[in-house]
Structure 1
Amino acid sequence: MFRISKFLCKYSKESPKKDQNLPSLPCEFILPIICHLSNDKKSLCSCLLVNRFWCLETIKVLWSKPFKLLYTCRKKPCFCSIEKRKSQAANLLSTYLSCLLHKYKDSYIQNKSNFTISSSPLFYYIDYLHDIDLNELYSAVEDWIKSSSNKKRISADILKFQQRNYLKLPNDKYNYIDFMKFLTNSSFGDEILPKYSGSSLRDLMVHVVVKAFMTQCPKLERISIDLRHTYTREQMEYFCSTLKQEPENLPVEIYETLNSYTGNGPCLDQLTELICTTRRWKSTLLLSLAKFAHNIKYLIITISYQRDYFVSDPARVHELPKVEQEASCLAMLVQSQKALKHFGLHVCSEGLPTIMSALESQVISLNSISFVNVKFSGLEIFENIRNFKNLQTLSIKSSSFDRFTFSLSLKNLEFSFLKELNLDGTYISAEVLEKLFLLCPRNLESLGLGKHTRNDIYMHRTPRKVLILIATLFPNLKNLKASIYPSEISQLCSIFTYCQDLSHITLIGSASRSGDESSNLLLYISEINQNLKELRLEGSIWSFSSFTFEMFLKNRNILKNLQVLEIIDSKDFGNQHLQVIIKCLEEIDDVALKKLVISSCEPITSKHLERVKRIVKNVSYQKLIWTGRTLTM
């Protein structure tokens, strides 16, 4: 990204004036370049300076998800300037309000004397918005209010607002509060302002901006309320660490009145993604979207109580009807979609049979199903999805089953098109697991058997037969994630022997050491596997000397292809191992390694870290402390 950004800046300065308005490359080349940089704000800003054509195309990408770009960092923790971020948020929202001001200026200033406004923005940026997350928007509004330019007078302004007097916001030229009242009461066609008459300035601003986006954005494709930022962030993207990930004071009215915006325009007809992992009540929102949004392809929802209750808690009994109603509204939303492709369910406290019954309406189009932290009564879930013949991805993470009983009809199941099976964090007995593998096709590409939830699985001393079964059933496996006992390390060799296309390997071990087995396994991987791109070893079970590690890296095919290397929760990975990495990387010109993550009890000097950072773009190190039983930061 840095090289592209540097090249674009240089090109923009050296381009002849006569070619300034013409693209130097065909459009079919330029557009993929800009789209490839869609998550790199710095490079996109450089693209703006190339010429007019590049600028026009970059504006569409840069302003498609401005709030995400504002609050996304490449490092964790980040070192962002809080004041700079607040200033950027203020400029961003001021630009949007300026666009609306010029759009409605005739009706707004008709009763105002001596009112003048400056020239309109170069673009109507609202048209380009594709992606909006309500938590990011809320953070931007708070940053706007707290920006340094208003810090001295903002408290007095809020007081005046509560007294229904006029006040001014960041740009002194305009009375934005007066304009927001105008938008709320007239231009958008409803009378919601009285709800905010006794509230804060922040709540009014959130309401107006959300309403503007819901009714004025013809290309709005994605709405998210993702509290954990799990689905709105891609790999190596982090939410800005200077902000709270779960705003405590997000106005309840936003969830309650969001549905009232849907009937005011055709914008939500284009909605293709909805992510809502909040626990707040959203029945009205889901019911309204079922009436207006019928083109959703990607849907992730949490159905849960407001808090974690005991079964006999009176508050839980009181909230039970609301949770069941929410599940019914979700079922209606699912049934109203034309072609749903991905469905994700989080913490489904009640109403699972109703939701699964509704999913049958998407039996042709649905190709991916994900369950996270869902408690199943039994293995009926596999019977519920038996008709999804086009299912390619099945993920059951951190979930649990009350019983492991196979029915007779389950024996006739077969997932012919399944390419990914992820059971990370979900305990399933070995017997059921073996039968489940027999239902999967031989061309399965990704298998996740990560951390298990039951302690007894780590106490098991005899190797599981499922590892041998993996090797024989899935020769085309490319991605493997598994928890391993020390006694099973030798069996992993059979997997690497038969599955020679493995490119992404994640191995998680228990706290006990494995002796020489882990060293032998590392050497075996380097000899057999020629396509390894990502290797993650987690746990103190993976113990090997710097000499063995050097032999592993000396294989030129490993370093030519390896892009990610992570050594997590290690007891003995230290300076000598890092020196081996530096030595091997410096000997090779075409290094592919882009990410190196180390967390270990052994200290690593800053001198060695600086050396490796000159070669590898993304390097992270964390010092751990061994307490005698566990590793802590």
Structure 2
Amino acid sequence: MSVTFNTDVLSIILYFLRYNKQTLYSCLFVNRLWCQLTIPILWRDPWTFFYRIENNSPPSIPTQPLKLINTYLSLLPIESIIELQKNGINVPIHSIEPSFNYPMYLRGLDLNYLYKSIIRWIYDKYNEKLSIHPLQKAVSRLKKFGKKVTGRDDSIETIDDEDKLKNEQILLIYSKLLSFFFKESPKLSLIRIKPKKNDIMFSNLINSNEAKKCLSYLTGLECVDDHKMEETYAHLALSNTNIYQIMIHGYQNTKSLANLLSVQKKLQKLYFVNINNISPYVYWTTPGVGLELQKKAHFIIKLKLEGSCGFLELLKDFINLEEFSLRCVHKNSCNDRIPLKAPTLRNLKKLEFEYEHKYEINFIANLIRNTRQLTKIIIKGSRISDPNNCNLLLDSIKNYCLQLKICSIPISIINPRLISLLESCKNIQRLSLFSIPSENQININYCDNFLVQILESEPVSLHTLELINCSFSVEVWEKFLEAQYISKKSISYLWMKHNFQPSEEFLKNCSTYKRLGMLKTFENINLYRACLSPKFYLRID
């Protein structure tokens, strides 16, 4: 029996899957309607699906960026394709027009990723050309060897000429695609900019009427506070006053970026990345970017810091904050920059801390005490400088977070009060416990009581449980899994090899439990989630 969906309802369902590429790709093949509704979602911000692109990746990895550039090039106007071919760029001309005009759906543009993808595309074509003619390649090498023997080596000049030609081709493709995007996309909602030489070309292109119209709808900007971008920010300030989310890398105090921020009327989401070598108060009070942001601090409802622990000192200025995230992957401790007194943020609903260096639980526990509406708490990182305060953290959560739904916390005591936590926070749906064992606890089953307390409390809402670095006896573990399997809970068991290693017997049992469907996964993680999580980057809401 076929099932039909209301088109509007189906569109909403697919939209909520916008960051799940595999699922969306499967939806393309259901039928024509599903395909027509899925394509605009897949192509609204295609860079997010393969956001990380490393220059030293093996040739087999970057197939997705190459396909992306191939698709966009095939859609260029015929006159642009002919111009590219005249400049030695092999762009095939298709006899059949594509089913969709993909640039029309573009709402997010990542200039850095676009530029890197074009570089890979050019070098892939160049290597492909060499591999097609191995005899010519061998002859060329023999000629170069002969010139070296006779003292007439001009290989350096040849390489320089080749690199110069490649760079010219890269910039030509870059300019053609940008012009094409500005022409075809009715509006761009988000743009990510990094200070590269290619962005000088972008500064020139955005002065066109098509670019001005397209970028006038901009609501999100990821940028670098760099003087090289003065002209770009000056152009954006003339036509953009509705940016509500911005990510800033660096702190050169660019005047035009400060002017761009000053004219924004709806700024609500602020991200800082790697602003760590300047005093927060100097940044906050010096005329320029920091001061303009300080003026808008009470409008900010979402704040994210990456590698910028010092800005914890400024939390008290964000009085209406609803979401706060801090991710610091620096090896060196930033504790000397953490304020002694936690601010009061009554509207805070989501709180996330991810550390690779040492950090204090006491500050986080006191911050939680000063809130009343938290529904999400994520604390990740094993290098705790005050593990005895884990009990204080539990008390703060159970007393002040009665609406909590998602909880990830470290546990460093033998008998934590998990029962009281689960009884107070009855709405917890996802719980992650990270055990921080002391030296005398490594070889004993000190975490059995975790499982016993969860079994006794019988949390009704809990459906996902993650246990990290925990030492369990096989008997208690098996009893626990059988009970949770009946209640259909999803259980994951993880450990960090440099901190803890389960016994072979225990791992064999885990393998059996996984085959039986009682355990979702069990695996070693080299570093905790702070190192595994993707970097912050802006998304289209």
The question of a shared fold, defined as TM-score above 0.5 by the shorter chain, is answered with: yes
**Kindly tell me: are residues 136 and 405 of structure 1, through their superposed partners in 2, closer, same or farther at Cα, counting changes over 3 Å?**
closer
Over residues 384-427 of structure 1, what are the superposed CA-to-partner deviations in whole Å (9 max), with x where a residue is unaligned?
Answer: 223x2xx2112334354536455xxx8xx642221122343386
1:203 and 2:147 correspond? no
Aligned to 2:481: 553
Q: CA deviation at 1:92?
A: 1.6
Say which SS state the counterpart of residue 381 (structure 2) adopts: coil
Say which SS state the counterpart of residue 343 (structure 1) adopts: strand
Question: Contact between 2:390 and 2:410, CA under 8 Å: does it hold in 1?
Answer: no
State the alpha-carbon separation in 2 of the partners of residues 143 and 439 from structure 1.
Answer: 50
Question: Contact between 1:549 and 1:577, CA under 8 Å: does it hold in 2?
Answer: no
RMSD of Structure 2 on Structure 1 (CA): 4.4
Aligned to 1:367: 301
Q: CA deviation at 1:599?
A: 0.6
- Segments of structure 1 that go 5 or more residues without pairing to the other structure are 1-10, 16-22, 110-115, 157-195, 227-250, 305-322, 602-633
Aligned to 2:11: 31
Aligned to 1:65: 45
Q: Which amino acid aligns with 1:562?
A: S
State the alpha-carbon separation in 2 of the partners of residues 155 and 202 from structure 1.
Answer: 22
Query: Mapping of 1:267-416 within 5 angstroms?
Result: 267-276=214-223, 282-304=229-251, 323=252, 325-326=253-254, 328-348=255-275, 349-350=277-278, 352-354=283-285, 355=289, 357-359=291-293, 361-362=295-296, 365-376=299-310, 380-386=313-319, 388=320, 391-398=321-328, 400-402=335-337, 404-406=339-341, 414-416=344-346
Aligned to 2:67: 88
Question: Contact between 1:132 and 1:222, CA under 8 Å: does it hold in 2?
Answer: yes
Number of paired residues?
A: 466
Q: Which amino acid aligns with 2:67?
A: Q
Of the three residues 367, 371, 375, the one matched with 1:440 is 371
Say which SS state the counterpart of residue 206 (structure 2) adopts: helix
Q: CA deviation at 1:534?
A: 3.7
Question: Contact between 1:518 and 1:544, CA under 8 Å: does it hold in 2?
Answer: yes
**Kindly tell me: are residues 561 and 81 of structure 1, through their superposed partners in 2, closer, same or farther at Cα, counting changes over 3 Å?**
same
Aligned to 2:472: 544
Question: Contact between 2:246 and 2:269, CA under 8 Å: does it hold in 1?
Answer: yes
**Kindly tell me: are residues 347 and 330 of structure 1, through their superposed partners in 2, closer, same or farther at Cα, counting changes over 3 Å?**
farther
State the alpha-carbon separation in 1 of the partners of residues 113 and 396 from structure 2.
Answer: 46
Q: CA deviation at 1:344?
A: 0.9
Of the three residues 431, 441, 455, the one matched with 1:526 is 455
Question: Contact between 1:509 and 1:538, CA under 8 Å: does it hold in 2?
Answer: no
Say which SS state the counterpart of residue 468 (structure 1) adopts: helix
State the alpha-carbon separation in 1 of the partners of residues 193 and 468 from structure 2.
Answer: 31
Please identify, of 515-524 and 118-127, the stretch whose mean Cα deviation from structure 2 is larger: 118-127
Q: Which amino acid aligns with 2:409?
A: A
Of the three residues 193, 200, 206, the one matched with 1:256 is 200
Question: Contact between 1:422 and 1:447, CA under 8 Å: does it hold in 2?
Answer: yes
Question: Contact between 2:284 and 2:291, CA under 8 Å: does it hold in 1?
Answer: yes
Aligned to 2:422: 496
Q: CA deviation at 1:268?
A: 1.2
Aligned to 2:141: none
Q: CA deviation at 1:517?
A: 2.9
Q: CA deviation at 1:586?
A: 6.1
Question: Contact between 2:313 and 2:339, CA under 8 Å: does it hold in 1?
Answer: no
- Segments of structure 2 that go 5 or more residues without pairing to the other structure are 87-92, 134-163, 329-333, 527-541
Question: Contact between 1:89 and 1:144, CA under 8 Å: does it hold in 2?
Answer: no
State the alpha-carbon separation in 1 of the partners of residues 126 and 346 from structure 2.
Answer: 61
State the alpha-carbon separation in 1 of the partners of residues 461 and 176 from structure 2.
Answer: 52
Aligned to 1:418: 348
Aligned to 1:213: 181
Compute the TM-score of the two structures, normalised by the length of structure 1: 0.61
Compute the TM-score of the two structures, normalised by the length of structure 2: 0.70
Q: Which amino acid aligns with 1:61?
A: I
Please identify, of 497-506 and 568-577, the stretch whose mean Cα deviation from structure 2 is larger: 568-577
